[in-house]
Structure 1
Amino acid sequence: MGERCLKAVIFDFDGVIVDTEPLHYRSFQVVLEPLGLGYSWQEYVDRYMGFDDRDAFIEAFRAGGRSLDQSGLEELIALKASLFQDVVTEGVSAYPGVVALISALSAEVPLAICSGALRSDIEPILRILAIENAFTVMVTAEEVAASKPDPASYVLAVRKLATAFPDRGITAACCVAIEDTPAGIVSASGAGIPVVAVTNSYSADHLSKASRIVSSLADLTIADFKTIVTT
């Protein structure tokens, strides 16, 4: 296989490219607290982080012993998305080194985003960071029936990459996913993709199922990714 095996890199978004988890948490609480369903930041980390908005609301209602029909769920998702856009306008910043890494990788291999966030959450931030053209493929919450840790979103990301670049021979085993949560690692691994985990959201002992764990993406190079898919 050698170095030629690296065919694409797939980035999670929240907690990998930008630190949006506190922004999502704030938006959820504005929606849920008036309903008596608010929860602490630690509960968010322990129970909700890694869910898409749909599953996060379903879980919050389940934990509160409340029912939620599809119409009500859609209204809550739309309200939270609107609130999140307001929060984003206050400013977001990328994690150290990640924009430079994206730039370097995109010059060598196709890049994708595979996220449980809504596309409307992601695209404005990519524009703010001036990296909206770096990603050929994007898989978001609207496109899959089950969120991470289900592998469906990563399976779809690989399929989209293979379709967009039919001459590159893109397979799951020759991609690398970058994740920050246990659910994300299980999702990517379940799709057959090796994973680099970054300790932005969880400590290393929670990310032990990854192929490699790093404290920052700042020092990674394309050579590191090639090593991951050939070991």
Structure 2
Amino acid sequence: MTPGPAALKAVIFDFDGVIVDSEPLHYQAFCDVLEPLGLAHSYDVYVERYIGFDDRDAIRAIFQDTGRPLDADTFERLLRAKEEAFQKIVARGVVPFAGAKELVEELLRAGLPLAIASGAKGDEIRLILQGLGMLHAFSAIVSADDVAAGKPHPETYQRALQALFSRHPALRSNPATDGSSPQGVVVIEDTPTGIQAARSAGLFVVGVGHTYPVSELYQAHWAVPRIADLSVERLRDALLRHEP
């Protein structure tokens, strides 16, 4: 028998481009590191080609696209340099997207477990969330440090789902099973790459048009222009309207 629509039971957020407008900061950090090598590029190119990647895959892709060899020592040095550059930029202050903090607080009041599944570094995510007073809100954070393959591979979302089930056993559709069903768990994403990763993990995806126009988020089950357009009620309605 085909299951009916699921009730909302948890939300997984992407981080960059969903909660905070940190993509321009990542771009600046990449430019600081790559410009001396003659590998800097415009922000438009960053958005078109590299924005959905974690740092590792972005650096590999940049070198591959320019036909430049990338040895292991240079790769590790650039990773460290980019992380240090980003932390210096973040220290100047980061502002969340309008409505992001309010949505997180509303979800918490509704008793819904929350997680983050991001291609950013874990220390960077926690540093920003701590500064925004939001670190306590997320019972699980899966970052680039925790996966072997970044988005669009589904591993980031698979691990976030596993972490939520581990920390909140009541989320399982049937506690007697392994709790692997993603029904009722909603993802909020801003890039086609991230949407692909979440859908490959079997999750219901809501796109927000912070980074790409809504028309380019067509792989999401539902998309809105801004995270400020979302609420607990609207997420519940969207999930209930979806035919599995």
Q: Which interval holds the TM-score relative to the shorter structure?
A: over 0.9
Partners of 1:4 and 1:64 in 2: how far apart?
Answer: 46
In the alignment, which of 96, 99, 102 is matched to residue 100 of structure 1?
A: 102
Which stretches in structure 1 are left out of the alignment for 5+ residues?
none
1:220 aligns to 2:222 (yes or no): no
State the secondary structure of the residue aligned to 2:207.
Answer: strand
Q: Distance in 1 between matches of 2:6 and 2:23?
A: 35
Please state if 1:144 is matched with 2:147: yes
How many Å separate the matches in 2 of 1:9 and 1:41?
A: 30
**Equivalence for 1:132:** 135
Task: Give the conservation status (yes or no) of the 8 Å contact 1:3–1:227.
Answer: no
**Cα distance in 2, alignment partners of residues 3 and 186 from structure 1:** 21
Instruction: Name the structure 2 match of 1:157.
Output: 160
Question: How far, CA to CA, are the matches of 1:2 and 1:150 in structure 2?
Answer: 27
From 81, 86, 89, give the equivalent of 1:87: 89
Q: What does residue 54 of structure 1 align with?
A: 56
Separation (CA, whole Å) in 2 of partners of 1:60 and 1:4:
41
CA distance in 1, matches of 2:143, 2:216: 24
Distance in 2 (CA, whole Å) between partners of 1:4 and 1:63 is: 43
SS of residue in 2 equivalent to 1:24: helix
Contact 2:114 2:137 in 1 (8 A): yes
Match status 1:180 vs 2:190 = yes
Helix, strand or coil at the partner of 1:196: strand
Deviation (angstroms), 1:5? 2.3
Code of the aligned partner of 1:105: L
Aligned residues: 231
2:202 to 166, 169, 192: 192
- Given residue 223 of structure 1, which amino acid in structure 2 is its aligned partner? E
Q: Tell me if structure 1 keeps the 8 A contact 2:6–2:183.
A: no
Instruction: Report the Cα offset of residue 146 of structure 1.
Output: 1.1
Shift of 1:3: 8.8
Q: 1:182 to 1:4 in 2, by over 3 A?
A: closer
- Give the 3-state SS of the residue equivalent to 2:170 in structure 1: coil
Q: Is the 1:194–1:228 Cα contact (8 Å) retained in structure 2?
A: no
96, 116, 120: which one aligns with 1:117: 120
**1:44-88 deviations in whole A, cap 9, x for unaligned?**
010000100000000011112112133322221111001101001
Write the distance in 2 (CA, Å) between the matches of 1:4 and 1:208.
Answer: 21
Structure 2: tracts of 5 or more residues without a match = 174-180
- Per the alignment, in what secondary structure is the counterpart of residue 45 of structure 1? helix
Equivalent position amino acid for 2:23 in 1: E
| TM, length-normalised to structure 2 | 0.91
Alpha-carbon distance between aligned partners in 2 of 1:3 and 1:59, rounded to the nearest angstrom: 39
Contact preservation (8 Å) 1:104, 1:222: yes
Tell me the CA shift for residue 175 of structure 1: 0.5
Aligned partners of 1:178 and 1:198 also within 8 Å: yes
- TM-score by length of structure 1 reads 0.96
